[in-house]
């Protein structure tokens, strides 16, 4: 039964096909848009000719696929910084297509740690609502900690299906996401250290205390258990 659920969840990930365009809403950031559509913000910026300013504005239509099937041109690793400001005539940015679950990249990964200790309520691919991560049980109000050093690039509740969400970018390649929080303890643009308290655990869709946790590799969802140490 469990294996069937995992396979079904992974199949759903593989079939993911983002829409052609996204109409920017007030408060959107390019990073938020990219995360929602499982894209890399640098690709979206390139596909839309945003240049170094990376400005987006309400009502703007953003292309979510390369024009004419061309590949996006990437800045060299480390030459781009992630956007965090909302769209209200302010600067921002976004990420690249991720149809299938990511493989482990060649470059070194951060020294990951568990964001919270608790039972796995669902594994990667098992949740029909959020197949892109794992569900970790615990106690409402428990401390949620950053899984590695990084910068907070999103902190809010604007992404439907994640509750109060925090996204941390750890490098050009890796980011992590923490959903269904009761309280957010960090703000966008803030640097965090591994093990730092960034939120307090809230309740998920079944009204049980849990943390939805993701690791993404160049925008693609990857199984966090492959990176995390044994509990």
**Structural domains in the chain plus CATH codes:** 17-67+76-91 (3.10.350.10), 120-226 (2.70.70.10)
Residue with the two structure tokens 């205390």: 209
Query: Which residue did the predictor score with more confidence, 107 or 211?
Result: 211
The tokens of 21 are what?
């365009």
How confident is the model at residue 52, as a pLDDT? 67
By C-alpha distance, which of 27, 46, 9 is closest to 159?
27
The whole-number average pLDDT for the span 45-61 is 85
* Residue 73: pLDDT band with limits 50, 70, 90: very low
- Whether the pLDDT of residue 193 is over 70: the answer is yes
How confident is the model at residue 218, as a pLDDT? 87
Q: How far apart are CA 53 and CA 62, in angstroms?
A: 15
By C-alpha distance, which of 199, 92, 180 is closest to 142?
199
Q: How far apart are CA 107 and CA 86, in angstroms?
A: 31
Write the pLDDT tens digit of every residue in 123-160.
Answer: 999 988 889 999 999 999 999 999 999 999 999 998 88
Alpha carbon 210 to chain centroid distance? 17
């Amino acid at each position: 039964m469990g294996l069937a659920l995992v396979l079904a969840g992974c199949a759903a990930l593989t079939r993911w096909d983002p829409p052609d365009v996204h109409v920017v809403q007030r408060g959107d950031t390019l990073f938020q848009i990219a995360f929602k559509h499982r894209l890399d913000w640098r690709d979206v910026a390139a596909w839309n000719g945003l240049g170094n300013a990376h400005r987006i504005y309400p009502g703007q239509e953003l292309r979510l696929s390369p024009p004419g099937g061309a590949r996006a041109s990437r800045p060299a690793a480390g030459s781009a910084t992630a956007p965090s400001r909302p769209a209200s005539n302010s600067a921002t940015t976004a990420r690249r297509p991720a149809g299938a679950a990511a493989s482990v990249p060649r470059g070194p990964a951060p020294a990951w740690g568990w964001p919270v200790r608790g039972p796995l309520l669902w594994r990667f691919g098992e949740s029909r609502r959020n197949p892109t991560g794992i569900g970790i049980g615990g106690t409402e109000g428990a401390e949620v900690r950053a899984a590695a050093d990084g910068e907070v690039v999103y902190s809010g509740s604007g992404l439907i299906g994640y509750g109060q969400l925090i996204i941390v970018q750890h490098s050009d390649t890796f980011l992590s996401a923490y959903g269904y929080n009761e309280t957010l303890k960090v703000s966008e643009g803030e640097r965090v250290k591994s093990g730092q308290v960034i939120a307090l655990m809230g309740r998920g869709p079944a009204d049980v205390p849990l943390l939805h946790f993701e690791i993404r590799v160049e925008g693609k969802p990857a199984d966090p258990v492959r990176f995390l140490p044994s509990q």
